Chain A
Amino acid sequence: METEKKFEIVDSVEALEARMAEMRKAQAVFATYSQEQVDKIFKAAATAADKARIPLAKMAVEETGMGLVEDKVIKNHYAAEYIYNAYRDTKTCGVIEEDPVYGIKKIAEPIGLIAAVIPTTNPTSTAIFKCLICLKTRNAIIISPHPRAKNSTIAAAKLVLDAAVKAGAPEGIISWIDVPSLELTQTVMKDSDCILATGGPGMVRAAYSSGKPALGVGAGNTPVIIDSSADIKMAVNSIIHSKTFDNGMICASEQSVTVLNDIYDEVKAEFAYRGCYFLAPEEIEKVRKTIIINGALNAKIVGQSAYKIAALAGVEVPETAKVLIGEVTSVDISEEFAHEKLSPVLAMYRADSFEEALDKAEQLVRDGGYGHTASLYINTDEKEKMAAHADRMKTCRILVNTPSSQGGIGDLYNFKLLPSLTLGCGSYGGNSVSHNVGVLDLINIKTVAERRENMLWFRTPEKVYFKKGCMPVALDELGTIMHKKRAFIVTDSFLYKNGNTKPIEDKLDSMGIVHTCFADVQPDPTLKNALAGTAQMRAFEPDVIIALGGGSAMDAAKIMWVLYENPDADFSDMAMDFMDIRKRIYKYPEMGRKAYFVAIPTSSGTGSEVTPFAIITDSDAGIKYPLADYELLPDMAIVDTDNMMTQPKGLTSASGIDVMTHAIEAYVSIMASDFTDGTALKATKLVFDNLPTAYADGTNVAARDHMANASCLAGMAFANAFLGINHSLAHKLGAFHHIAHGVANALVLLYVIRYNAKEVPTKMGTFPQYQYPHALRRYCEIAEYNGIKGKDDNETLDLFIEKLRDLKHAIGIKDSIREYGVDEKYFFDTLDEMCEQAFNDQCTGANPRYPLISELKKIYTLAYYGEDDKKVDF
């Protein structure tokens, strides 16, 4: 019963469908085989095919009446031995690749049931090839032979099947259509999982239109160019060797040879000397009408000898004639010799220049061989010509000094070109692949990717100097160690007039460093403002820039620095938001080639002396450019409390609470790390303990000193862990309603904490390190560090918020946006726009909770009226 079933003839759609159903069962078993089992089968099958190469070759020639037995023996030998050799050690089952460090693993799985269409030109070798690569990949294969070659194709497949089964493969893992028809070929294609279609354009189109993934190949029309620099003997004999191979039936075989004028006669003589027959003009005409009928290839000449084709055309040639050569001029498709001939008939063209030869070859490829193969004989020192040839040929194989029949199939004349009897023609030929098809095309690769955490960093200026009175000492380095010659000071007019630049200038003078000062930085500096400074900077050509002031002066100086170093820098590119600063599209220009950058803060503060951020406004275009890149990090920060004693009360209060917000946001950021946590926590404590005093008594040196350090520490924290939506909301509040940045932060702070602390947020932030919503715990850690402890985290959070509220009150910050004179109607008129912009703010990305725009709107609304923060119930 089993045997009977096995040999049931497939001659109808029903029989075929039944066979394919059986094959699917067999394949399901095959899919469980180990690499070892598969390799054993692969070896046995290849061995059997190899041993049967002569009888199979004889059978193919006998059945099809095409080609040469001896050459078909080589093809069979190649299909067995070379394919086995190429893949003997290739992993095709289970885990084929693993990198535990990156947590990535690749697992090979079979595709399933492969449909194979086998052409008449290579009926046994292609069958062997396709069967072997399917066995190696644990796929079942159903073969649709050509009616003209069905017996030999089936014999080859059966032989491989028997050997495979004997070696342990499931019964029926290879099968075929016994009585081929288009209907059955279509069924095979439609019902398979993938199609290996070898054949002409019609077959390839049919494969692609079946709706199944297809590895189809198309027609070739290989043009050869023999350059003046070529080794003529080698070239001519390689072409003859290739063109006569199996009577010219390999699709990669040469169809035309274009010879440079200066060597034409010599090439012609060599062809003639080696037994090729040059057709006389009237003979050319006769052969034309014989090889091509109405633009199509005469089936009767395919794979026939030169002598036989000549006889069909009524031309007498010696029986030993190897190739019929027609010396023709037109490369147009109307010239019969310009077509693919699948026989030992060759067109020969003359070219006056290499360029003309390229034109001809390009046209020949376009007319009949898009994507297939092109060939060039040349001295390989002629790099430019070779590059031009490779550039012009729209073919997926470009062979140099190589017989194209044997060369194109790979591993014979070049050992890195994959051996294959299915040659991809790329999109040029309407194919899905452009390489020589192999086992990797017949597996599904499953990639197992384990969660990995990003590398993080902690970046600060190379030098951060601090302590009251440290500035002149720190500046000393500019002269004594760095030998700077020209210093450019950037500050605002208040500080300049107040004499704050004086100690710097004195120090520079004492070291003989020439200096100048741009003292016109405006609050919230504009691009125009920065450009004015840049112009002055360019004229002065400093080798050190010293920024003195609050955030505005330091930011403006950073912008001038960028423009000074990179006059062509584009702000809109630099200001482009990023998801991950390491993966941003825009690559910042390298800084520091012209000038060293020193930042000296006079407020506490923005922390800009240690951050990679700068904000500049283009008031003409109405665009605010927030720039962020570590190239903007100052080289030296000098935190000297002597520069901070003159801060007015309002500034102390606003910038002080800004410091607190920096520290808190950096601590709960999804990018927070042990490195940023330390500075952030310390900053919160310094602010809690010293800001009220610094506010109440500006002359208190200790409080000012601690606040200076807090500002710088918080700056380091958020320079690396970044911020969150507190800042997103504050930025837009400032932009729309002109509220000082620090105050704006304070107005939304308590609501944002409540919002972020939710244990069931609508959405959480995306970052591998951020594993689950844990902002509540993080806020409590800050609280605990500051000595606040409730009976549980919720109470601790309540107490922490109360302490922050007390701090705000202590430094004179009001409870609501309304109290800062923001008109209610105007506020709500602009609210939607403000929410969308806040959502889109660069700071939003690092927030532990990914906000909905509607949620931001609720926060703004509560903050406007100064509502109880406990109303944040969303």
Chain B
Amino acid sequence: MCGLLRGSGKVMIMKLNKKDIILERKNKTVYKTDDAIIKVFAEGHPKTGVFNEALITAYVESYGVKAAKVLWVEEIDGKWAIATEFIPGKTLEQCMKDEPERMEEWLNKLVDIQLEVNGFKADGLRNTIDKRAEEIKALTDLDPSTLYELQQRLHGMKRHTKLCHGDFVPSNIILTEDGDYRVVDWSHATQGNAGADAALTYMSMSLTDPALAEKYLKLYSRKSNTAIQYVQKWLPIVAAGQLKKAKTEEETALLEKWISVAEYQ
């Protein structure tokens, strides 16, 4: 596969080799070059989606966040591709795997970076509430009563303007060699409630390591000086959004349990 690639204002021809593939999914293939990560979407992937991802990332860069920068968007052989800068280093997820004895340190890092990200004001990005509302509305299989309760719960949330990554998990944090970090994959970023962002992190962790998730939640609550309930009240909502993506029956059961809650009266 080859195409016209623009990097640093220069037009160049670049060949994407199979050997450079680092990830292959049904809807995308990810290549790594010397200085870029190139995500090539499957044919038919909406153009708006690609440009939107680039735009979101560009916004995030403009706030001054330590993010992997977007380099360009290009159509290559009828497929849309987006390139972001390659960050040399090790993901936090890898660190957790390699050095589990330092788990407390990694968890602290995770929370610290998240709070730093949440500290930015994300003017220009879509609001979390609107994004979640759309997700919930699409859950046509859910019984109407539960759906109604979820929508009502979401509608009662306050509209904040903090930068929320939307998938703030250890695999999206790269610790660089100089001791700094970069956060990658901003495609789900919104402006909104930091509690919602933490709820997403907690949920993702709960699906793989519930004990670690609990530790994370307590640490987040302490470091952000907010009550655990502040995060918890988002769980039915983020769980509903995750329902369609559940990989196992256990996951589905857990998410359904989380969703099936009543409002206090």
Whether chains A and B associate is: yes
Q: Inside 8 A of B149's CB, which chain A residues have their CB?
A: 299
Would A146 and B145 count as touching, CB distance under 8 A? Answer: yes
Q: Which of the candidate stretches A334-342, A607-615, A686-694, A728-736 sits at the interface with the other chain?
A: A334-342
Tell me whether B145 and A219 are in contact (CB under 8 A): no
- B155 touches which of A198, A206, A296, A298 (Cβ 8 Å): A206
- Contacting pair B152 A202 (CB below 8 A): yes
Find out whether the CB atom of A180 lies under 8 angstroms from the CB atom of B264: no
Of B146, B149, B233, the most chain A CB neighbours within 10 A belong to: B149
* Between-chain CB contacts (< 8 Å), 23 pairs: A147-B143, A147-B144, A180-B144, A180-B148, A182-B155, A199-B152, A202-B156, A202-B263, A205-B156, A221-B264, A249-B265, A251-B265, A294-B235, A294-B258, A296-B235, A297-B264, A300-B260, A334-B228, A339-B264, A340-B264, A342-B262, A342-B264, A368-B264
Q: Is the CB of A297 within 8 A of B263?
A: yes
Cβ A201 vs Cβ B264 within 8 A: yes
Query: How would residues 238 to 260 of chain B score, 1 for a CB under 8 Å from any chain A CB and 0 otherwise?
Result: 00000000000000000001101
B258 A200 Cβ-Cβ under 8 A = no
Q: How far is the CA of A148 from the CA of B261 in the complex (A)?
A: 13
Closest B-chain residue to A148, C-beta based?
B145
Q: State whether B235 touches A199 (Cβ < 8 A).
A: no
How many whole Å from A641's CB to the nearest CB in chain B? 82
| Residue numbers in A under 8 Å from B258 (CB-CB) | 293-294
Q: Which residues of A contact B263 (CB under 8 A)?
A: 199-203, 219, 296-297
Which of B148, B152, B153, B228 has the most A CB atoms < 10 Å from its CB?
B152
B166 within 8 A of A: no
Could you say which residues of chain B place their CB within 8 Å of the CB of A181?
A: 144, 148, 151
Known: A298-B260, A339-B264. A201 touches B145 (CB 8 A): no
> How far is it, in angstroms, between the C-alpha of A45 and the C-alpha of B152 when the chains are bound?
31
A146 near B262 (CB under 8 angstroms)?
no
Residue of B144, B146, B227, B258 with highest tally of chain A CB at under 10 A: B144
Q: Are A202 and B155 neighbours in the complex by a CB distance under 8 Å?
A: yes
B260 touches A299 (CB 8 A): yes
A294 with B265, Cβ < 8 A, contacts A182-B152, A186-B155 known: no
Q: How far is the CB of A405 from chain B (nearest CB, A)?
A: 12
Query: Within B175-196, which residues are at the interface with A (CB < 8 Å)?
Result: none
Evaluate whether A220 and B155 lie within 8 angstroms (CB atoms) in the complex, with A146-B145, A333-B229 already known: no
Partner of A147 from the list B145, B236, B257, B262 (CB cut-off 8 Å) is: B145
Interface of B is mostly: helix
Q: Are B260 and A146 in contact (CB-based, < 8 A)?
A: no
Given contacts A206-B156, A295-B232, A342-B265, 11 further A-B contacts (CB under 8 A): A120-B145, A186-B155, A199-B152, A202-B263, A206-B155, A220-B265, A293-B260, A294-B236, A296-B263, A299-B149, A368-B264
A205 to B158, CA, bound (A): 10
Closest to A221 in B: B264
Cα(A185)–Cα(B148), bound, Å: 10
Q: Which residues of B contact A148 (CB under 8 A)?
A: 144-145, 148
Collect the chain B residues with CB atoms within 8 Å of residue A605's CB: none
Q: Is the CB of A146 within 8 A of B261?
A: no
User: Which residues of B (210-242) have their CB < 8 Å from a CB of A?
Assistant: 227-229, 232-233, 235-236
Q: Across the interface, do A182 and B151 meet the contact criterion of CB distance under 8 Å? A: yes
Tell me the A607-634 residues at the B interface (CB within 8 Å).
none
CA distance A185 to B156 in the complex (A): 13
A395 within 8 A of B: no
Would A298 and B261 be within 8 Å (CB), given that A203-B156, A206-B155, A334-B228 are in contact? Answer: yes
Residue A716 lies at the interface, judged by CB distance under 8 Å to chain B: no
CB interface residues, A 314-339, toward B, < 8 Å: 333-334, 339
Alpha-carbon separation in the docked complex, A180 to B146 (Å): 12
The residues of B that contact A297 with a CB separation of less than 8 Å are 261-264
| A259 part of interface (Cβ distance < 8 Å) | no
CA distance A693 to B260 in the complex (A): 103
Residues of B142-180 contacting chain A, CB below 8 A: 143-149, 151-153, 155-156
Contact flags A52-93 to B (C-beta < 8 A → 1, else 0): 000000000000000000000000000000000000000000
Chain A to chain B: the 7 pairs with minimum beta-carbon distance, closest first? A200-B263, A202-B156, A296-B261, A219-B264, A182-B151, A148-B145, A295-B232
B-contact 0/1 string along A105-136, CB 8 Å cutoff: 00000000000000111000000000000000
Contact with B along A281-305 (1 / 0, CB 8 A): 0000000000001111111101000
Distance (whole angstroms) from the CB of A432 to the closest CB of chain B: 17
Neighbouring A residues of B233 by C-beta, 8 Å: 295-296
Cα-based distance from A302 to B144 in the complex (angstroms): 17
Q: How many residues of A contact B (CB 8 A)?
A: 39
Point out which of A221, A249, A297 has the most chain B C-beta atoms below 10 A from its C-beta.
Answer: A297
How far, in angstroms, from A333 to B258 measured CA to CA in the complex?
18
Q: How far is the CA of A342 from the CA of B156 in the complex (A)?
A: 21
Contact B265 A340 (CB under 8 A): yes
The distance in angstroms between the C-alpha atoms of A479 and B265, with both chains bound, is: 78
Contact string, B113-125, partner A, CB cutoff 8 A, digits 1/0? 0000000000000
Q: How far in angstroms is the closest Cβ of chain A from B43?
A: 36
Knowing A146-B148, A147-B148, the reply to whether A295 touches B229 (Cβ < 8 A) is: yes
A222 to chain B, nearest CB (A): 12
In Å, the complex CA distance between A340 and B260 comes to 16
A592 to nearest B CB, angstroms? 62
| A339 to chain B: closest residue by CB | B264
Q: Which residues of A contact B151 (CB under 8 A)?
A: 181-182
**Contact: B155 with A121, CB < 8 Å?**
no
Do B262 and A202 have beta carbons less than 8 Å apart?
A: no
Flag if B261 contacts A299 (CB, 8 Å).
Answer: yes
Chain A residues near B236 (CB-CB < 8 A): 294, 296
Bound: A220/B257 CA distance, A: 24
Give complex CA distance A334, B229 in Å. 9
Q: What A residues does B232 contact at CB under 8 A?
A: 294-296
Known A-B contacts A146-B145, A147-B148, A294-B235; A333 and B227 likewise in contact (beta carbons under 8 Å): yes
Roughly how many angstroms separate A340 CA and B263 CA in the complex, as a whole number? 10
- Find chain A residues with CB under 8 A from B145 CB: 120, 146-148
* B-side contacts of A200, CB under 8 Å: 263-265
With CB as the reference atom, state the residue of chain A lying closest to B217. Answer: A294
The reply to whether B229 and A206 form a contact with Cβ atoms under 8 Å apart is: no
Residue of B nearest to A117 (CB): B152
* Chain B residues near A300 (CB-CB < 8 A): 260
Within 8 Å CB of B153, what residues of A?
A: 202
Q: Which of A119, A147, A186, A295 contacts B265 (CB 8 A)?
A: A119
Judging by beta carbons under 8 Å apart, are A293 and B261 in contact?
A: yes
Smallest Cβ-Cβ distance to A303: which chain B residue: B262
A156 to B43, CA, bound (A): 55
Q: Within the complex, what minimum Cβ distance (angstroms) separates B263 from chain A?
A: 3
What B residues does A206 contact at CB under 8 A? 152, 155-156
Please name the residue on chain B nearest to A251 by beta carbon.
B265
For the complex, give the distance between the alpha carbons of A333 and B143 in Å: 29
| CB closest residue in chain B, given A301 | B262
Measured in the bound complex, the distance between the Cα atoms of B151 and A185 in whole Å is: 11
Residues 648 to 703 of chain A near chain B (Cβ within 8 Å): none
Of all chain A residues, the one with the shortest Cβ separation from B148 is: A147
**Minimum Cβ distance to chain A for residue B258 (Å):** 6
Q: In the complex, A205→B148 CA distance in Å? A: 15
Contact of A298 with B148 at beta-carbon distance under 8 Å, contacts A182-B155, A334-B228 already known: no
Residues of B within 8 A of A249 (CB): 265
Smallest CB separation, A201 vs chain B (Å): 6
Chain A residues with Cβ under 8 A from B146's Cβ? 299
For B143, the chain A residues whose CB sits under 8 A away are 147
Most buried by A among B156, B228, B257, B263: B263
Shortest A811–chain B CB gap in Å is 78
Contact pick for A302, options B147, B156, B228, B262, CB 8 Å = B262
Q: In the assembled complex, which residues on chain B have CB atoms less than 8 Å from the CB atom of A186?
A: 155
CB B160 to nearest CB in A, in angstroms, measures: 15
B9 CB, nearest partner CB in chain A, Å: 48
Inter-chain CA distance A342–B149, complex, in Å, is: 16
Q: Which of A119, A147, A206, A339 has the most CB of B within 10 A?
A: A147
> How far apart sit A297 and B263, CA to CA, in the bound complex (Å)?
7
Expressed in whole angstroms, the Cα–Cα distance for A220 and B265 within the complex equals 6
